[in-house]
């Protein structure tokens, strides 16, 4: 299990969304929604997470 600080995940997704907004707005929107989820779930952005597991939880939360 590889853990990454939430702050780094947020920065990465925001950077990707800025690029994708012109070419793939749906993916950019999904990234922004994931960032909102991260900020809500992990107010302490120094927290280290397993991104794949948290992303699975995010997808499940959207389907409910």
pLDDT at 64: 73
Residue 22 to residue 28: CA distance in whole angstroms: 9
pTM of the model: 0.92
Q: How many Cα atoms occupy the beta-carbon half-sphere of 39 within 13 Å?
A: 10
| DSSP annotation of 1 | -
pLDDT at 61: 93
Residue 7 has pLDDT above 90, yes or no: yes
pLDDT digit string, tens, across residues 9-63: 999 999 999 999 999 999 999 999 999 999 999 999 999 999 999 999 999 998 8
């Amino acid at each position: 299990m590889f853990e990454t600080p939430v702050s780094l995940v947020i920065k990465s997704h925001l950077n990707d969304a800025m690029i994708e907004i012109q070419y793939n707005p749906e993916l950019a929107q999904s990234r922004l929604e994931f960032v909102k989820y991260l900020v809500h779930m992990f107010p302490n952005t120094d927290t280290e997470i397993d991104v794949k597991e948290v992303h699975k939880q995010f997808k499940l939360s959207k389907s409910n």
